[in-house]
Amino acid sequence: MCIRDSKSSEADDTETRSFGKVGSRLIIVLVMSDKFKVAIFSSGSGSNFEAIVKAQIPNVEISLLFCNVEKAKVLERAKNLSVQSILLSHKGFESRKDFEKEVINHISQFNLDLIVLAGFKRILSPFFIQHFEKKVINLHPSLLPAFTGLNAPKQALEYGARYAGCTVHYVDDGVDSGPIILQGVVDVVQNDDEESLLEKIHQKEHEILPKAIQLIAEGKINRIEGRRVFIDNDF
């Protein structure tokens, strides 16, 4: 809790009486939020960002959208949903580390509990991941460990997979290689193409990503042993 005092005016009398006045000064008590603070990193359209915000996860505050692509649609979504956003292009930095140092400088003020990569088109270096150890999760459009990297739905179709899906996992020093938190499965049918399969995967992503954030916020992850994530049975 913190106390902020500001000068009152006659126009404020009706409103300020409910708080109480001391001399010519108004005492306002501000209760600091104890919510679980989340930042979403996104570079694209932001459908998962919007799904997270609209899920209204109990005791979770979406404190920030971070975007590295100017004119990305997700910035418009953030504005419409009244979520603060930071736009910082990675272009113009001499190195990945220099860019990530600047990102950290921008977001450190938010005292974040979790960073969610949802369509963020940059691979974060070990420097960044270690700075936020076990506080960064990623959403990948495949059933990991299958079909890592780019164009995962296309890879699944070309391989002839009967099932596809999406994975929420912790981010480690590799690419799509961290411990798995949740997965969602969709059927691959004969007439699926890359567009139709991707749409089915998107719908499943909108389900499991808010769930993953919720279980982390509620402390439901019991422990991580190697690559295995143990979740409380009552989730």
Handedness of CA 66, 71, 74, 77 (dihedral sign): positive
197 and 116, same domain (yes or no): no
Selection from 214, 221, 219, 218 nearest residue 180 by Cα: 221
149 and 83, same domain (yes or no): no
Q: Are 60 and 213 in contact (CB under 8 A)?
A: yes
20 and 67, same domain (yes or no): no
144 and 158, same domain (yes or no): yes
Residue 77 has pLDDT above 60, yes or no: yes
Q: How many CA atoms are closer than 13 Å to the CA of 140, on its beta-carbon side?
A: 30
54 and 70, same domain (yes or no): yes
235 and 140, same domain (yes or no): yes
Q: Which of 102, 117, 133 is the last residue of a domain?
A: 133
147 and 229, same domain (yes or no): yes
Backbone angles phi, psi at 146, to 5 degrees: -75, 145
117 and 207, same domain (yes or no): no
pLDDT 10s digits, 102-145: 999 999 999 999 999 999 999 999 999 999 999 999 999 999 99
Q: CA 51 to CA 192: how far, in whole Å?
A: 24
Angle, vertex CA 26, rays to CA 25 and CA 28, nearest 5: 145
Reported in sequence order, the residue ranges of the chain that DSSP labels E, i.e. its strands, are 2-7, 21-22, 25-30, 36-41, 60-67, 85-87, 114-117, 136-140, 163-170, 180-187, 221-225, 228-231
Range of the domain at 123: 35-133
Confidence of residue 34 (pLDDT cuts 50, 70, 90): confident
Confidence of residue 33 (pLDDT cuts 50, 70, 90): low
Residue 203 has pLDDT above 60, yes or no: yes
116 and 175, same domain (yes or no): no
Number of domains forming the structure of the chain: 3
Q: For residue 180, give the amino acid letter.
A: I
- Candidates 90, 140, 169, 202; catalytic one: 140
pLDDT of residue 24: 52
20 and 61, same domain (yes or no): no
Query: Can you tell me whether residue 68 is helix, strand or coil?
Result: coil
180 and 93, same domain (yes or no): no
Indicate which CATH number applies to the domain containing 161. 3.40.50.170
Q: By mean pLDDT, which of 25-39, 52-66, 117-131, 177-191 is the weakest?
A: 25-39
Q: Is residue 140 among the annotated active site residues?
A: yes
